[in-house]
Every structure is written in C-alpha cells, then in structure tokens.
Structure 1
Amino acid sequence: MTIRHILVPLFGYDGDRVSLDAALAVAKRHGAHIAALHVETDPLEQTPLMVDVGVAITELVEAAERHASQRAKASAKVFTDWQAATSTPVDAEASMRPGVTTAFTNIKGNEEDLLARFGRLTDLVVLARPKKNEAADLIAVRIEDVLFGAGRPVLLVPNDISADALARIETGPALVAWNGSIEATRAVTAGLDLLKAMGKVRVLSIKEGKKDPHPATDLTHFLAWHGIAATVGDAPVDAGKATAEHFLQAARDAKATLIVMGAYSHGRLRQLVLGGVTSHMIDAADLPVLMAH
C-alpha cells in the first residue's frame, strides 16, 4: 500500500505530540500529507439526561462544554507548536503539493462517528498508546473505534518512545504475527511499504489447534514476491495475554522496531481469545505496532 495520506487524531492530551512526531517519521520516507484532526465533542451527546424531567443537567453540560473547549485548545496548540518546531509546510487546501505537508482540522460532533468517517479515507492512522492516567481509557476506546470502525491500518506507538526509536521505525527488524486470518493479511498488505525498507523480517506463526491451515511459509513466499526476505518462528498455541507477551519479548530479543499484526474484536467466539492479544498490545506494547482489522 502506498502511503500518501496519514491521519493523526488529536485528543488534547499528552500523547498528541508523540502521534505527530511518529506520523512525521513515516511521512518523510513516503512524501505523505499529515492530516491532524481534533473532534470537539458535543456536550449534549455526551451528557446523560434526567429521566424524570427529560432535560440535560445544566451543570454537567456546562462542565462538558468547558472540558471540550480545553481539549480543542490544547490540540490546536500542540499542532501549532509541532508545526513550527518541525517546519512542516501547511497545505490546508489539499493542493497535493509534493513532499511532506500538514493541516489541522477541528470539527464538532460525535467523536466515534467522525473518527470512523475520516479514518476510512486515509492510508494510515497514527496514534500514541495512552499512558496510565485519567485519559488512558478514553484514548484506548478511540483506538478501538478507529481499528474496528474505520477499517484502516493503525500505527500505534508508545507514548514515551524516543526520537531515535521513531527514526528507526522502518529500519527493522520487523516481527509479523501470522495466523492466516483476514485481519493478519490486511495488516501485512497495509504494511508492505514499511516492510520493504526493513533489513530483517521474522514471521511468528500462531497455530490454532494441531493442524496449521495457514503456515507461515505461505506468507514468506508472498513477501518474497515483494522483495522482502523473511524467516519463520513459532508463537504459543494458546493465544491470549501469554501470546501478546511472547510477541513483545520476541520483538525485544530481536531488537525489532515494529510489530505487524491483525486486530481482533470480540464479535465471534474464534476471536474471543485473540481479542485479548489486541487489547494487551493497546495497553502494554512498548514498541510500535501496526494493526489492521
């Protein structure tokens, strides 16, 4: 997949600058446009109604309005400071000028719906994994909104990632979690342009039961057609948190700069346990992860 347009949702919290820096690290290699987006939530959609009187509680609405305004201002300031510090040209008119460009949009409405709307028409969504603070749960939900609502690949980076690690996202090695699923396939195909620049790619095969209907060698043969040499390793049979930790430890041992994996919801029984891997990666991954659903 050619990366020409990168969406960076901004939330008015501490991960916004990291998200922009990560997007820029990728955009520089691909000459992509970075579209920064903040959705200013509508308090009337977020505030519960009083059942007995049928009107929103005034105090809650006012508090929600203040909070939404603060988040919008914080997002705009982070973008302005980042743009000035990096000297990234602003192309608000989407003129598609060559090279890396950027623009900031603040739009009011339902955050979940608008992230899905804008996320569906981009090549890559970049988000910083939340820290363990009061915003972590909110941003984790929004990450899932983009993954499962937009259906586009998401590059998730640690909130405290170093500038050196950002610069090495596409240098490799890369670790691919493979089980032959549609989600894993979408993650791999979405990441082809990233993987092509890697010095080494290792495929960890997730075996569901005694038979392996989707051997990792199938994937290595496919990657070879794209000029990507990959080796094979095995992940534990029992997917879940143990598997997620196995991926992370294998990535650390290999000094990997990127993990590529499918993102699984809890909609079907087969995905119930694998969904735990997705959640654990969102909560605990300490290196960049490219996910797709």
Structure 2
Amino acid sequence: MYLRCLLVPTAPGIDATRRLDAALRLGQRLHAHINVSFMAPGPEHVLAGMASLVPMDCATIEAIERGVREAAADGQAALRAWCARQGVPFAASGGRLDATFATWTELSGEVEPLLTLAGRVSDLVLVDQPDPERPFTGRALDTALFSVGRPTLMVGKTLPDDLLDHVMIAWNGSLEATRLIGQSITLLHEAGRVTVVHARTERFEEARAADLCAYLRWHGIVAEAVTREASEPHAVGAAILGEAERRNASLLALGAYTHSRVREFLLGGVTRHVVEHARLPVLMAH
C-alpha cells in the first residue's frame, strides 16, 4: 500500500507544527502530499453547548461565525508561514504526484464525523499525543483509531530527525497488529532498520508461530527479532517502551487496543500505557 496522502487534522487553538514536521519528513521519503484539514464546530454546534449559559441572538451567532473565520485565517497563515520556512509548496488544490506539497481545507461540524470521512480518503492520519487540556487531541486520536480504518501516527513531544531510521514493531500475532503491518509495508521498506519485539505473555507461542520476520523477508525487509520478559500482563507496555528506548528506536509500530477500550481503561493495558507514556512517535491501527 502506497502512502501518498497524509492527513493532519487541526482545530482552533491547536498548534500543528510538530505534526507538520513529522509529515514532511515522511512525505519527502514517500513522495506524499500533506493535507491540513481545519475542523471547527459550526454555530449550531456551539449554540447547542451554550444554550443554557447565554441568550441566543443574531449578534451571538455572528460573533461565533466571526471567531471561527478568524481562527481559520490564523491557522492558514500559520501553515503558509511553515511552508515558507520549510520550502514546501502551498497548493490551493493539488500538485504533482511526485512532489511533496501542502494543501489546506476547512470543514465545519463535529470532529468525529469530519475526521472519519476525511481520514478514509487519506493513507495516514497524524494526531497529537492526547493532552487533557486540549480535548481535540483525545477526540482526534480516538476517531482516527476506531472510525477511520487507516494507520494513525501519534506524535509526541520528541520528534526524531529520521522517523524511519529504526522502526520497532510490537508483535503479538493479533488482528490489529496484522492490519498495521499490511497497511505499513511501504514505511517498513523505507526503514533503515527493523526490529520485531515479542513480549512473553499468554499469547507468546501464538505470536512465535506467526513468524513476522519470515513474512517480512518475502517483502524484501530484513528484521531482527527480540524477546522481552514481562512479569505481568500490565507490564507489557512498559517493557516495549523500555526496549524501544534501549535500542534507540525512532518509531514504534503497535496494533492498538487488542483488548476492549473499556477493559484497558479499567485494568490498564498495553495501548493505554503506550499512549500515555511514549516519548517516540507511535504508528497504530485498530
């Protein structure tokens, strides 16, 4: 699967610079374009949440619309400034298929349906690591993972110069991990080094039987396999991140939420731990 369309969703008050930098580093390797999609609630959505707080009149609606227009103008100006700094062409609609360029679209409505539809006509969605002070970040990650059906790259505070220098795959033989591998072969081909890490859990023998390294060799990708001990199931996430740090991995690939989200919330789980504690970018699929 070629990765040619990279989606960077954003919203009022969200700084997309780090994700734009990540998209550019991938885009230049993959000859992909970057679509920055500005998503803001329409007046009807804002009013629904404010109805009990302030009286609704034409002036209120006009103020909301003006605020959204100003936020969109600021967002596009920030993108144009980033393009100028990075030497990335800003295209109104589209450009050459063998070049990396950035486009800007504005969408009105709730995040979930907007991102779902935009993501399904993209190859990769880049989201921020969730920040409790910015609800958009958590909503974007959840939507990208559970509704879009495309790989999701979560970008945290640390961004390696080369995201594909050393890709580490957390492999457990699950359906989620299998989907991620199938959708990410192009990225793995571009990686300087690939490591497959198995954690000793109740699924260890199952994962070993599904020999991912042998499969990757058929695709011309040489991968090293390592095993990490995890004394308890809830320690798997920490073991994987520890191995990634020890081996200087630049990107972690992880099948997300093998167990239900409710179970992970109540009992803890690999995905939840990685989402909360990862310092490196994490590529995920559910």
Normalising by structure 2, what TM-score? 0.85
- For 2:36, what is the secondary structure of its paired residue? strand
Q: In structure 1, what is the equivalent of residue 256 of structure 2?
A: 263
- d(CA) in 1 for partners of 2:47 and 2:139? 18
- For 2:248, what is the secondary structure of its paired residue? coil
- d(CA) in 1 for partners of 2:214 and 2:174? 16
CA contact (8 A) 2:128 2:141 kept: no
Q: CA deviation at 1:259?
A: 0.4
- d(CA) in 1 for partners of 2:261 and 2:90? 43
Q: In structure 2, what is the equivalent of residue 245 of structure 1?
A: 238
Letter in 2 for 1:147: L
Q: In structure 2, what is the equivalent of residue 76 of structure 1?
A: 76
Q: In structure 1, what is the equivalent of residue 197 of structure 2?
A: 204
Unaligned runs of 5+ in 2: none
Identity of aligned residues (%): 32
Alpha-carbon RMSD: 2.9
CA contact (8 A) 1:203 1:216 kept: no
- d(CA) in 2 for partners of 1:49 and 1:217? 49
Q: Are 2:210 and 1:214 equivalent residues in the alignment?
A: no
- For 1:7, what is the secondary structure of its paired residue? strand
Measured at CA, do residues 277 and 268 of structure 1 come closer, stay the same or move farther in structure 2, by a change above 3 Å? Answer: closer
Unaligned runs of 5+ in 1: none
Q: In structure 2, what is the equivalent of residue 176 of structure 1?
A: 169
Q: CA deviation at 1:213?
A: 2.0
Q: In structure 2, what is the equivalent of residue 147 of structure 1?
A: 145
- For 2:206, what is the secondary structure of its paired residue? coil
- Greater Cα shift, 36-45 or 246-255: 36-45
Q: CA deviation at 1:73?
A: 3.8
Q: CA deviation at 1:244?
A: 1.6
CA contact (8 A) 1:36 1:105 kept: yes
CA contact (8 A) 2:172 2:204 kept: no
Measured at CA, do residues 116 and 180 of structure 1 come closer, stay the same or move farther in structure 2, by a change above 3 Å? Answer: same
Measured at CA, do residues 97 and 224 of structure 1 come closer, stay the same or move farther in structure 2, by a change above 3 Å? Answer: closer
- d(CA) in 2 for partners of 1:49 and 1:102? 33
Normalising by structure 1, what TM-score? 0.83
From 58, 61, 83, the counterpart of 2:54: 58
Measured at CA, do residues 257 and 245 of structure 1 come closer, stay the same or move farther in structure 2, by a change above 3 Å? Answer: same
Measured at CA, do residues 47 and 281 of structure 1 come closer, stay the same or move farther in structure 2, by a change above 3 Å? Answer: farther
Measured at CA, do residues 2 and 95 of structure 1 come closer, stay the same or move farther in structure 2, by a change above 3 Å? Answer: same
Q: In structure 1, what is the equivalent of residue 41 of structure 2?
A: 41
Q: CA deviation at 1:79?
A: 1.0
Measured at CA, do residues 251 and 262 of structure 1 come closer, stay the same or move farther in structure 2, by a change above 3 Å? Answer: same
Measured at CA, do residues 139 and 64 of structure 1 come closer, stay the same or move farther in structure 2, by a change above 3 Å? Answer: farther
- For 2:211, what is the secondary structure of its paired residue? helix
Query: What count of residue pairs does the alignment treat as equivalent?
Result: 281
Letter in 2 for 1:151: G
- d(CA) in 2 for partners of 1:12 and 1:88? 23
